[in-house]
């Protein structure tokens, strides 16, 4: 590794030295309609959160705040730590589990057409793949994480081991067989456990009932109708197409030290219909606006995305927080619905009040994007936009 490169890495990881300007388009106050002018503008607070990147926890951030209360957008940090060039606000990024919103919307569109029945069992669609122990799991339970199917075990226990296998290819059928070979975690419909496997099965059901690939169906139903030209599902592609801000992960390096490694190039076949989407903040903001306005999933089935099952969380015992595709948290006295996502080097999210008054879309190049805790920059962005959690 070049000395100049190592110096930049050390500065970002240890010192948090700013290596790129904060780029802002502060239109929030000017665009706020008079009817909601009293609503506090988050523009200054959000700008403060991302100022000074790169820091130890993140190297770049792209943010869009929107809705009927007004709009603001900004970017900060660097495109990569080698050149130190400013982060590209139009760059693509890995959106992780935000993919689940697209998958749920596709399934719900098919349900509206009568091609999928949410109360039918997954086994009735995929009899050769879903064994008898999971015979009662319904499509609705796949979408709201109340199915009781455990996660498939993937090789590796550390980020270094996963990085060594970053080009591995996992077929969705292989993941489903591995998961359903294990005993169920709970009786379907009695608990909620947020996992990817339900959405992997949902993606296969989409393929079975349409006769097209999951990627083709999402494209024809969502991406093209909404004009999401910079959003795609990568399949086995390891590199992000076009311009992107590089993602970095703290890990053990080849010389035995701990530092940041560029993890931008990484296959996401383990996520597939649960987590492999690549997008931009502009595209995700448009998708969020159209989804919450009822122009992606129409009619009564949209309520599936805003209905929490009345069960307890499998791990914590707290009330269920996930619906079909989305999750809910009370922030600033309002219900905020959305979805976060994480792939190595990238954290992303879409979020909105139910009425669309305030929306948030971000991509944060977190240096421990799949760690146990919430990245500090991500947490501060949510609080700056919507306010503190409330009961």
Q: What is the pLDDT of residues 120-131, one digit of tens each?
A: 999 999 999 999
Q: What is the pLDDT of residues 221-246, one digit of tens each?
A: 999 999 999 999 999 999 999 999 99
Give the CA-trace dihedral at 86, 89, 90, 94, to 10 degrees: 90
Using a cut of 0.85, tell me whether the model's pTM lies above it: yes
Is the bond preceding residue 54 a cis peptide, omega within 30 degrees? yes
pLDDT given at position 391? 60
Residue 72 φ then ψ, to 5°: -155, 145
Cα 53 to Cα 18: distance, rounded to the nearest angstrom:
5
Burial profile 140-155: b = 16 or more Cβ within 10 angstroms, e = fewer: bbbbbbbbbbbebeee
User: How confident is the chain (391 residues) per 10-residue block, as mean pLDDT?
Assistant: 39 35 39 33 88 95 95 96 97 98 98 98 98 98 98 95 97 98 98 98 98 98 98 98 98 95 98 98 98 96 97 97 97 96 97 96 96 86 91 60
Q: Report all structural domains of the chain as residue ranges with CATH numbers, in order of start.
A: 3-386 (3.40.710.10)
């Amino acid at each position: 590794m070049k000395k100049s490169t190592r110096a930049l890495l050390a500065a970002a990881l240890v010192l948090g030295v700013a290596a790129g300007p904060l780029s802002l388009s502060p239109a929030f106050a000017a665009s706020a309609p008079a009817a909601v002018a009293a609503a506090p503008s988050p523009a200054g607070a959000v700008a403060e959160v991302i100022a000074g990147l790169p820091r130890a926890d993140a190297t770049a951030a792209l943010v869009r705040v929107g809705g009927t209360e007004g709009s603001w957008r900004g970017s900060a940090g660097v495109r990569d730590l080698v050149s130190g060039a400013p982060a590209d606000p139009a760059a693509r990024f890995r959106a992780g589990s935000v993919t689940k919103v697209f998958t749920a919307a596709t399934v719900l569109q098919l349900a509206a057409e009568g091609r999928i029945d949410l109360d039918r069992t997954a086994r009735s669609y995929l009899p050769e793949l879903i064994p008898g122990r999971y015979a009662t799991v319904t499509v609705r339970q796949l979408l709201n994480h109340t199915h009781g199917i455990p996660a498939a075990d993937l090789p590796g226990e550390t980020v270094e081991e996963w990085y060594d296998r970053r080009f591995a290819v996992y077929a969705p059928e292989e993941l489903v067989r591995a998961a359903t070979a294990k005993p169920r975690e709970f009786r379907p419909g009695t608990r909620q456990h947020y996992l990817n496997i339900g959405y992997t099965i949902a993606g296969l059901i989409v393929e079975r009932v349409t006769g097209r690939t999951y990627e083709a169906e999402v494209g024809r139903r969502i991406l093209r109708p909404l004009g999401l030209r910079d959003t795609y599902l990568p399949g086995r592609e390891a590199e992000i197409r076009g311009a992107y801000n590089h993602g970095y992960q703290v890990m053990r390096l080849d010389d035995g030290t701990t530092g940041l490694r560029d993890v931008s190039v990484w296959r996401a076949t383990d996520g597939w219909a649960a987590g492999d989407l690549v997008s931009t903040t502009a595209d995700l903001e448009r998708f969020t606006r159209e989804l919450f306005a009822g122009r992606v999933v129409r009619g009564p089935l949209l309520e599936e995305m805003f209905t929490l099952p009345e069960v307890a969380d499998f791990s914590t015992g707290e009330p269920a927080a996930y619906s079909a595709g989305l999750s809910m948290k009370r922030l600033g006295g309002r219900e905020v619905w959305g979805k976060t996502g994480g792939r190595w080097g990238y954290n992303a999210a879409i979020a909105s009040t139910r009425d669309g008054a305030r929306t948030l879309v971000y991509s944060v190049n977190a240096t421990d994007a799949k760690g146990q805790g919430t990245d500090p920059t991500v947490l501060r962005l949510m609080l700056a936009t919507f306010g503190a959690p409330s009961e």
